[in-house]
Amino acid sequence: MALSQTQRRWWLGVALAATLAAVAWIHAGDDGTDDLAQPGRPGRREAARPQPGLGKEGGAGLRLDLLRRPPAQDEVGDAFASQSWYVPPPPKPSRPQPPSAPPLPFAYLGKMLEDGQLTVFLSRQDRNYVVKRGDVLDGSYRVESIEPPLMTLTYLPLNIKQTIQIGGLD
């Protein structure tokens, strides 16, 4: 159904009149008090609660100096400086070290000269040893020589010589 020009204007006028009547009716029922917070006067429901940040004067206690940002402490760098993602290759492994003997596990206790031959007393944890030249200790060490102030031992698995201080002859 097509409306003529006159009918269209009549319906637009009716719609405009209804809109204006609705606005007038809503505005007439408004007494000017809202529940919205307004500066200086709280709404009806919030009359008993104090507003955060406001003093008794209603805004005179607001400390705006606390809102200032402190100056930056860090140095500002160049945001457009060139950067490299290059990671250097790991260093080439050096030659493997030759195996070495463990530190001597023996502690020197004393020595004795008997019939021109030196006997040395050693200890290892709970065991005591009485050794002469040529003796083998625990299958790992051989006494090569006893010549004060040193005694020379050979670590048999690697054939490495080690010395221990035994002091001079008295």
Mean predicted confidence (pLDDT) in 146-150: 93
Query: Token pair of 162, please?
Result: 């080690």
- Quick check: 124 and 153 in contact, CB under 8 A? no
* Residue 61 falls inside a structural domain: no
* Residue 16 falls inside a structural domain: no
* Residue 87 falls inside a structural domain: no
How far is it, in rounded angstroms, from Cα 143 to Cα 106?
A: 12
Domain extent, residue 152, equals: 109-165
pLDDT at 34 over 60: no
* Residue 143 falls inside a structural domain: yes
pLDDT at 33 over 90: no
* Residue 103 falls inside a structural domain: no
* Residue 51 falls inside a structural domain: no
pLDDT at 170 over 60: yes
Q: Into how many domains does the chain fold?
A: 1
Confidence of residue 108 (pLDDT cuts 50, 70, 90): very high
How far is it, in rounded angstroms, from Cα 31 to Cα 125?
A: 102
* Residue 151 falls inside a structural domain: yes
Mean predicted confidence (pLDDT) in 3-30: 90
pTM of the model: 0.46
Mean predicted confidence (pLDDT) in 68-78: 76
How far is it, in rounded angstroms, from Cα 38 to Cα 166?
A: 99
- Single-letter residue type at 23: V
* Residue 72 falls inside a structural domain: no
